[in-house]
Structure 1
Amino acid sequence: MPHVPDTPNSTTLPAHIPLVREPWGMLKSLRAARENLLSILPDIATRQPMVSGKTGRRWHMVMDPDAIRQVLLERVDDYPKSLVTKNLLRPAIGESMFIAEGAHWRWQRRAAAPVFSHRNVTNLAPVMSAAAEAACARIDAAGARAVNMADEMVRATFDVISDVTFSGDDGFDRQSIHRAIDAYIAEAGRVSLLDMLGMPDWVPRPARLMTGHALRDMKHVADAAIEGRRKSGPRATADLLDLLLAGEDPETKRQMNTGELRDNLLTFIVAGHETTALTLGWALYLMGFDPAAQERAHAEARAVIGTDVANADHLQDLPFVRQIVDETLRLYPPAAILSRTAQTADELCGREIRRGDTVMLPIYALHRNHLLWDDPDQFRPERFADRKAIQRYAYLPFGDGPRICIGASFAVQEAVIVLATLLARYRFSAVPGRSPKPVMILTLRPEGGVWLQAEKRP
């Protein structure tokens, strides 16, 4: 699928993917999906409330907020995560709460919910501030050279998630876990023809078998770290592992065993840095794309924090920086497509849904739907000046309903702290000819990186 190039002086649109305007067959769709899932989204999905078709099995793309509410809230048990999603992720994160359904999901969610309370998330802010300071030191060390801010943000957010997960465990090889999961996603997480045909889970997916050894080693390392913490006891300042070890389902008093803890921790490690890193990388790209918005954000950040580092106490005084984060998540939602499998007959937007149908919520198309947003492909942070004006279920960067991302407040707090700190200290300028391309395999990444010049402000 051709990419529309953008330049730093573009007066058109920020980086985007032209969507499909004609029907594709299964093999062409498969080839395209393995390279970029966004490339199979039809343009009509940005102009209609619902689109249906058949590619191996019946599917429906839903962009109508009321119908999405039905899927994610009113009949959530009738629309579990699709087999494709589970087949992609189960080898890496087992039956963690991201994959589990029904009662097994509910008790895990109840046990983990207090971990992400407002108080606990606020208490973790100093780790985020320290990561922002470390990122500034690396940018300073780069001097006049252009910096790939996508890579820098991955490093910063991984510093945060590893510090709040396994603080003080010097013997725990954090980087090996990061590399193992990243390799699994990159090499084995691509859409398989067997998945598209709806073949059962026990049919081997050859590409995924190749990464099994690395995943087994990673799980053994994580298990050892969990057992070591059980023996040594909690840290003076509780980290994520301490909180999960102490957590229990308030209804059944059940606690997570080592395997359940490991699967959920690995989920938090991946999701807890990947999604925030992507949000920050794309936000910095947009700052280079829109210098006027960058100057406004700089003025706000400098007035609030000076040249210091942002912290949790500053969040309420950084409304425009928060709007930039929100608008970035609209244009480049990390989880750009959600997939569900209908378990019973239903009706959405007046259309028949049969048991076994795939129901997709293409968040990328929802966030750019012309029925819901004015000039949806434009970068306009001020859309979010009045959050109450945003239609519920038209904006879903973290999902919604009972399965809304448990770490959403953690991610937003981290993004605002890091972004405000960077914008207070630097002026970011785009590098000509190096605009990123939005590519989704499992998450929506800036292919080619986010290359920016960072000029230190006086």
Structure 2
Amino acid sequence: MLTPLDVLSVETWILMISAIVLFRFYIHKKWQFFKSRSIPYEPPTLLGLGSLVSFIKNPDGIFTRDLEFKKKYGPIFGIYSWLSPVLIIGDSEVLKQIFIKEFSTFPDRQNQFLKVNGKEMNTSLLSTTGDQWKRIRSTLTPTFSSSKLKAMMGIIEQCSDKTMESLKMISDTKGGRFDAKETFGRLSLDVICSAAFSANVHSQEGQETPKIIQMAKKAFSISFASPVMLLLFIFPWLETVLSKFDWSVFPRDMLTYFSGLTETLIEKRKSSELKQRVDLMQLMLNVKVSEEDVKNGATKGMTLNEIIGNSMIMILAGYETTGNAMLFLAYNLATHKDVQEKVQQEIEETIKEYGGLTYNGINNMKYLTMCINESLRLYTPVARNARIADKDITINGLNIPKGTLIHVPVYGMCHDDEYWDEPFEFKPERMEDMNKIDPMLYMPFGAGPRNCIGMRFALMEIKMGFCKLLQKFDLDVCEDTPSAPLKMLFRNSVQAKDDIFLKVVPRCNK
């Protein structure tokens, strides 16, 4: 019978056991982060890789987990993503310091998954940090000024009219039943490509799903359970290695397609009248700088790679985030006919007062805005927001060391019955006076200097689209429309779990 000494020498066994003991001690020390600071936390386990395995196995649990933890531990608590502490903060006063007053201490969203998005999208506003982010943000901000948005109104209206033509055909030939995700996704993609890039991508033409839609869908179907993703969670330093090979969490054919599309749009500017047009693409090209300029400290402008990467992220965000916001608003209005009728009445009054759907008229539609805000609360575009501490800081007695990753439970705070009456009900009236709504408890577009740069553009698009829609049609549910509240999925975006089919019914004399 073999004994351990027949397999390995005494010295080898001592070395192995010592290594295991030391590694276990190292893990134990890492897992003292919250305990040493008297912060309540979810106890980590080895088999659970801290609390990481529970997230990998059930990412959709994020919609209930934050609320459950808050009731168990309070508004500030910790979890461990393997050995890395994640501080979850749902305290409004602390968040105001983090997002606004102490923004210079928390300028970046995270320190993971910044180098594995493809060489182009690694340079987008979502992935850049520090001075690079400041330079790109300051370059893009003028695109979304009031004057620029007003100039885009006609393009948005034209795109919305195409959607109405499509819905009219569906009403005439298919009883009005339509796939809300598909319809609003096509509209939002058409708008962003037309208004920001002067490109007709034909996303609303024909019954076949255009290739651009197919590729956009691929970008938002990433699974957190893949072996490489798990390794990146456990060993963050692998990002640097994988980035050397231009490895990406996104499908390679999707990146190649959108990179090629953007390069084609740029090339067209060189030999057409489009270069005279003031849109997002032209603004970026007008301030293009070289990599050498950036190395020498340029504070404005964007390199060609940054122009491509940020064009890609704008197209994808325009498709998914805005499309989903429109989908959920349509669902809420279809299931609340009394609310829908009030919006239709407001649309008619606005058209009479302003002589049409003008920029000022749409922006002054108070009840429609209330409905949009409430829909964004009920089905938030993001489940969590994040910030990372750039230096040691103490806020309201809470010690936050440099490098600490902070998660903000956006979905959880928007559905917490401590702050909202019947939080899972659609009640637009609660948004009547936004001055009474704590911006830290309701942040569908983020907060502070790093909020969503396209927020006003997206809201204008949603308002125009629904003014056109509800002017001509009534929204209704179908037999297979899921009941409220909708079940949600968390991938690399917040999505409805079930397909949502709705019905349009033409309004008389409209």
Scaled to the shorter chain, the TM-score interval is 0.7 to 0.9
Whole-Å separation in 2 of the counterparts to 1:304 and 1:74: 39
> Cα RMSD over matched residues?
3.3
Q: Are 1:68 and 2:95 matched, yes or no?
A: yes
Paired AA for residue 27 in structure 1: V
Q: Shift of the alpha carbon at 1:75?
A: 3.0
Equivalent in the alignment of 1:241: 281
Query: CA 1:218–1:190 in 2, change beyond 3 Å: closer, same or farther?
Result: farther
- 1:327·1:379 contact (CA, 8 Å) conserved in 2? yes
Whole-Å separation in 2 of the counterparts to 1:175 and 1:341: 39
1:354 counterpart (396, 401, 409): 401
Helix, strand or coil at the partner of 2:222: helix
1:228 counterpart (268, 289, 308): 268
Provide, for residues 402-452 of structure 1, a one-character-per-residue CA deviation record: whole Å limited to 9, x for no partner. Answer: 111111110111111111221222221222443142212122112223211
Q: Where do residues 21-420 of structure 1 align in structure 2 (5 Å cutoff)?
A: 25-33=51-59, 37-38=62-63, 40-45=65-70, 48-56=74-82, 57-79=84-106, 80-86=108-114, 89=117, 93-143=121-171, 144-167=175-198, 176=211, 178-187=213-222, 192-200=229-237, 201-202=239-240, 204=242, 208=248, 211-232=251-272, 234-247=274-287, 254-305=300-351, 310-348=357-395, 350-420=397-467
Q: Shift of the alpha carbon at 1:356?
A: 3.5
- 1:340·1:359 contact (CA, 8 Å) conserved in 2? yes
Bigger radius of gyration: 2
- 1:32·1:39 contact (CA, 8 Å) conserved in 2? no
Whole-Å separation in 2 of the counterparts to 1:385 and 1:59: 35
Q: Shift of the alpha carbon at 1:39?
A: 5.3
Query: CA 1:278–1:45 in 2, change beyond 3 Å: closer, same or farther?
Result: farther
- 2:120·2:305 contact (CA, 8 Å) conserved in 1? no
Q: Shift of the alpha carbon at 1:280?
A: 0.7
Q: Tell which deviates more after alignment, 162-171 or 66-75.
A: 162-171
Higher relative contact order (CA 8 A, sep 6+): 1
Helix, strand or coil at the partner of 1:296: helix
Equivalent in the alignment of 1:12: none
Whole-Å separation in 2 of the counterparts to 1:393 and 1:130: 36
Q: Shift of the alpha carbon at 1:381?
A: 0.9
Query: CA 1:336–1:28 in 2, change beyond 3 Å: closer, same or farther?
Result: closer
- 1:52·1:58 contact (CA, 8 Å) conserved in 2? yes
- 1:279·1:329 contact (CA, 8 Å) conserved in 2? yes
- 1:323·1:381 contact (CA, 8 Å) conserved in 2? yes
Paired AA for residue 151 in structure 2: N
Whole-Å separation in 1 of the counterparts to 2:65 and 2:286: 44
Equivalent in the alignment of 1:454: 504
Q: Tell which deviates more after alignment, 369-378 or 93-102.
A: 369-378
Provide, for residues 162-189 of structure 1, a one-character-per-residue CA deviation record: whole Å limited to 9, x for no partner. Answer: 11233257899x9555543431331367
Query: CA 1:305–1:242 in 2, change beyond 3 Å: closer, same or farther?
Result: same
Whole-Å separation in 1 of the counterparts to 2:452 and 2:382: 11
Paired AA for residue 443 in structure 1: S
Whole-Å separation in 2 of the counterparts to 1:333 and 1:182: 19
Equivalent in the alignment of 1:421: 468
Helix, strand or coil at the partner of 2:481: coil
- 1:150·1:446 contact (CA, 8 Å) conserved in 2? no
Q: Shift of the alpha carbon at 1:355?
A: 3.6
Whole-Å separation in 1 of the counterparts to 2:451 and 2:143: 15
Query: CA 1:390–1:49 in 2, change beyond 3 Å: closer, same or farther?
Result: same
- 2:197·2:279 contact (CA, 8 Å) conserved in 1? yes
- 2:115·2:127 contact (CA, 8 Å) conserved in 1? no
Whole-Å separation in 2 of the counterparts to 1:210 and 1:102: 24
Q: Tell which deviates more after alignment, 261-270 or 426-435.
A: 426-435
Whole-Å separation in 1 of the counterparts to 2:480 and 2:146: 42
- 1:367·1:394 contact (CA, 8 Å) conserved in 2? yes
Provide, for residues 254-283 of structure 1, a one-character-per-residue CA deviation record: whole Å limited to 9, x for no partner. Answer: 432221111111111112232211111000
Equivalent in the alignment of 2:494: 444
Q: Tell which deviates more after alignment, 100-109 or 314-323.
A: 314-323
Query: CA 1:181–1:431 in 2, change beyond 3 Å: closer, same or farther?
Result: closer
Paired AA for residue 103 in structure 1: D
Whole-Å separation in 2 of the counterparts to 1:154 and 1:370: 32
Provide, for residues 230-253 of structure 1, a one-character-per-residue CA deviation record: whole Å limited to 9, x for no partner. Answer: 45464454232112222479x957
- 1:85·1:339 contact (CA, 8 Å) conserved in 2? no
Helix, strand or coil at the partner of 1:139: helix
Whole-Å separation in 1 of the counterparts to 2:200 and 2:166: 24
Query: CA 1:171–1:377 in 2, change beyond 3 Å: closer, same or farther?
Result: closer
Provide, for residues 183-240 of structure 1, a one-character-per-residue CA deviation record: whole Å limited to 9, x for no partner. Answer: 1331367683234335221355999568224413432342243133145464454232
Provide, for residues 129-148 of structure 1, a one-character-per-residue CA deviation record: whole Å limited to 9, x for no partner. Answer: 11221111111111214211
Whole-Å separation in 1 of the counterparts to 2:480 and 2:491: 24
Whole-Å separation in 2 of the counterparts to 1:86 and 1:162: 25
- 2:186·2:213 contact (CA, 8 Å) conserved in 1? no
Equivalent in the alignment of 1:430: 477
Whole-Å separation in 2 of the counterparts to 1:181 and 1:98: 17
Q: Shift of the alpha carbon at 1:349?
A: 5.7
- 2:262·2:308 contact (CA, 8 Å) conserved in 1? yes
Q: TM-score, with normalisation over the residues of structure 1?
A: 0.84
Runs of 5+ unmatched residues, structure 1: 1-20
Whole-Å separation in 2 of the counterparts to 1:39 and 1:370: 13
Helix, strand or coil at the partner of 1:360: strand
Helix, strand or coil at the partner of 1:147: strand
Identity of aligned residues (%): 20
- 2:377·2:414 contact (CA, 8 Å) conserved in 1? yes
- 1:178·1:270 contact (CA, 8 Å) conserved in 2? no
Helix, strand or coil at the partner of 1:334: coil
Query: CA 1:377–1:85 in 2, change beyond 3 Å: closer, same or farther?
Result: farther
Q: Shift of the alpha carbon at 1:327?
A: 0.8
Tell me how many residue pairs correspond in the alignment: 434
